[in-house]
Structure 1
């Protein structure tokens, strides 16, 4: 069962974001619209759900790798001392793999922040301050949807480049946090 689950997770992690967007647009948008009696299901909630489904396989895959890297001796020693399998998993294995699991979540968040295509397809692409059920435009989708017609040297084009710079700096901060976490766990 573990090998089949691993294969499914790897398959889901390799699916392009535009496919997630298409599935979200055809399945999730109508579902959210009907479930919450909305005029349109293309909203922030749908975008959050699509992003979650999209990055979860990556997080699971990297976390599983971190858990497999825990030395078997740790688990055997814990079991030999009388701990149950659940106690061993939560108190020994998960604790030893904590930095890898946290790193996977940080990297998954970085991927979600930079995502544009899936969000463009399911979020409604309306520039406003959203509620959970309102259409929304993410920073990445603003760049994708407006750059093609922003005149060279215009304020709009400069603003789009500024948005790109903000996104770049945010991803840089995420990566710096990941590096600090990795260095701290290597010293421990």
Structure 2
């Protein structure tokens, strides 16, 4: 997407200012003193945002091209790897059939067999119901965690930021509430 020509002029004006004055002077020279200068600053922000958007779009296109190339290379390499792994596995299994303790080592790698643990496949719901029905509660884990939503709705925050349960008067350790200043929000019109 091409940048709006008006935004391009704003960027050119900013570039000229940068080249004419040292950066410290540029930062000190301008001060917003009214609606006109605020509008000028917002115009500059809009132009900078448009320039950043153009840069991101260009980068995204290039990333997509590079990713496409990388994916093609990875597929080709993975196909070759799978071919060689198949050849190695075929050979290794033939050798293992002859000698159960077979293993091999070359300057470029080793081929061995390793015992594996049995794989457990769970149907979580079915297994949980079965364990509950059989009364085997020892196989059920109960997860305890703080219900932050309910806590925020029901506690009181003291002036020093500590939190107290209003029903019992108990101060809840481990929670500190810090007031935040209002955040400045600038919306640049597109």
Is the pair's TM-score, using the shorter chain for normalization, greater than 0.5? no
TM-score class, shorter:
under 0.3
* Higher Rg: 2
What TM-score do the two structures reach when normalised by structure 1? 0.22
Give me the TM-score of the superposition, normalised by structure 2: 0.22
Per residue, is there more helix in 1 or in 2?
Answer: 1
More strand by share: 2
